[in-house]
Amino acid sequence: MKLGLYLHFPFCLSKCPYCDFNSYQLKEDNQITSYISALYQEISAYSQKLKKNNITTIYLGGGTPTILSGIQIYSILKFCRDKFNIDKNAEITIEANPGTLDSEKLKLIIESGIDRLSLGAQSFNNVFLKILGRIHNTKSIIDSYFLAREIGFSNINIDIMFALPGQTSEDLQATLKKAISLKPDHLSLYNLTVKPGTEYYKKYKKGKLKLPNEDEEFEMYNWAMHFLKENNFEHYEIANFARPNKKSMHNLLYWQNKPYLGIGAGAFSFIRGYRYMNYENPVSYIKEIMKGKLPIDNGEKISLRKRMIETIILGLRTKDGVGYKQFKTRFGVSLSDIFSETIDKLVNLGLLQKGNYRIKLTKKGIFLANTVFREFVD
Ligand code: SF4
């Protein structure tokens, strides 16, 4: 069985006010060393069980994985190679924050076998970077980007956020034009969503956060789709755009609802029909590991119907949509036998299109994707 491997690094130099990821401001360096020891133990615990699986993609996400030193990152990858069967052509990605990179670290990252860098730029406007509470500025994004190129990265993603407080369509256009001028291989474009538990949420509730309205957000996204297409990016997933042959293989594995193992605090795994999640808080995660246990907080066996619905929802996020043949091969029943009523309803609403081989979102459906997904769940 092929498997993706996700490693979570929950520490950041500071906590951004909009962020609801499982991330914590780093207080002391020894938090990292004890966390890495726990990661090693968790990896070792899975090593025997999964030795026969072929790991085809690895993703180091966070938090800020590049808060680690180059040698720590190198050692973790080496440990993974010793304990797992990693495909020699595996795509290995690391998320990186521009303020945490230097040439020595980047060299060790590349020597460790990591071949894809995902740079959390978010904006090329210093005013918005400040509003987002980011530790970097435009110059450090550009410097990090060119340094990574110089050191040998041939696959770089740039993350951009839009629908920011006070942002206009022109602001986003300027950021995207700057991003594209660097010639990245991949671009992820996420709209800001205000999540409970964040600083932004408190401000929003007090009426102190002025966000673009739905029409403005639509205009920004629509412009970005056209602009990126004109610049030879394939819009292969709702928020993701790639140059030819540069799609994110690891993320495709999620969208195809394929199995993956998540290591680290709060990481999810989906293996043999079970989905489970590790303890979110790094302290609880480390405590469980120290007791000699797997740090699993909760999990469930995913029913056949739920797996079908998840496969449809995840598949519809992508340009290819959901193939009739692939669905039948995977589940032994045809898509139209089970979901014909929902599909027809969405086709009539102009949100879904039915082709000879697959269903996929229409352009209107891309903008209203959550409405489409809800129809399959209800
Ligand atoms: S750097 Fe990323 S993970 Fe860390 S707090 Fe900011 S948004 Fe969250």
pLDDT tens digits, one per residue of 4-31:
999 999 999 999 999 999 999 999 989 9
Pairwise CA distance, residues 341 & 345, whole Å = 6
Q: Is the pLDDT of residue 1 over 90?
A: no
Does the CB atom of residue 16 touch ligand 1 within 6 A? yes
CATH number attached to the domain at 2-255: 3.20.20.70
pLDDT in tens, 139-169: 999 999 999 999 999 999 999 999 999 999 9
* Helix, coil or strand: residue 309: helix
Nearest residue (by CA) to ligand 1, atom 7, is 19
Structural contact between residues 251 and 240, judged by C-beta atoms closer than 8 angstroms: yes
Confidence category of residue 302, pLDDT binned at 50, 70, 90: very high
Mean pLDDT of 114-129: 98
Does the CB atom of residue 12 touch ligand 1 within 6 A? yes
Q: Is the peptide bond before 63 cis (omega within 30 degrees of 0)?
A: yes
Selection from 207, 324, 331, 269 nearest residue 55 by Cα: 269
Q: What value does the mean pLDDT of the chain take? A: 96
Question: Does the domain spanning 304-377 belong to CATH 1.10.10.920?
Answer: yes
In this prediction, what percent of the chain has a pLDDT beyond 70? 100
Q: Which atom of ligand 1 is nearest to the CA of 97?
A: 1
Q: Is the pLDDT of residue 231 over 80?
A: yes
Q: Which atom of ligand 1 is nearest to the CA of 12?
A: 4
pTM value? 0.96
Selection from 320, 321, 310 nearest residue 346 by Cα: 321
Confidence category of residue 90, pLDDT binned at 50, 70, 90: very high
Query: Measured in angstroms, how far is the CA atom of residue 197 from the centroid of ligand 1?
Result: 14
What integer pLDDT is reported at residue 230 of this predicted model? 97
Query: Measured in angstroms, how far is the CA atom of residue 284 from the centroid of ligand 1?
Result: 20
Pairwise CA distance, residues 31 & 283, whole Å = 9
Does the CB atom of residue 15 touch ligand 1 within 6 A? yes
> Which are the contacts of 339, defined by CB distance < 8 A and separation ≥ 6?
308, 312, 376
What integer pLDDT is reported at residue 334 of this predicted model? 96
Pairwise CA distance, residues 150 & 161, whole Å = 26
Confidence category of residue 378, pLDDT binned at 50, 70, 90: confident
Does the CB atom of residue 67 touch ligand 1 within 6 A? no
CATH 1.10.10.920 domain span(s) along the chain:
304-377
Does the CB atom of residue 97 touch ligand 1 within 6 A? yes
Probe ligand 1: pick from 21, 25, 164, max atoms within 8 Å of CB? 21
CATH 3.20.20.70 domain span(s) along the chain:
2-255
In this prediction, what percent of the chain has a pLDDT beyond 90? 98
Structure-model confidence comparison of residues 378 and 160, the more confident one? 160
Structure-block tokens of residue 364: 């209107």
Instruction: Report the amino acid identity of residue 86.
Output: I
Probe ligand 1: pick from 13, 14, 22, 23, max atoms within 8 Å of CB? 23
Structure-block tokens of residue 61: 């996400």
Query: Measured in angstroms, how far is the CA atom of residue 179 from the centroid of ligand 1?
Result: 20
Confidence category of residue 243, pLDDT binned at 50, 70, 90: very high
What integer pLDDT is reported at residue 124 of this predicted model? 98
Nearest residue (by CA) to ligand 1, atom 2, is 63
Neighbours of 145 (CB within 10 A): 22
Nearest residue (by CA) to ligand 1, atom 6, is 16
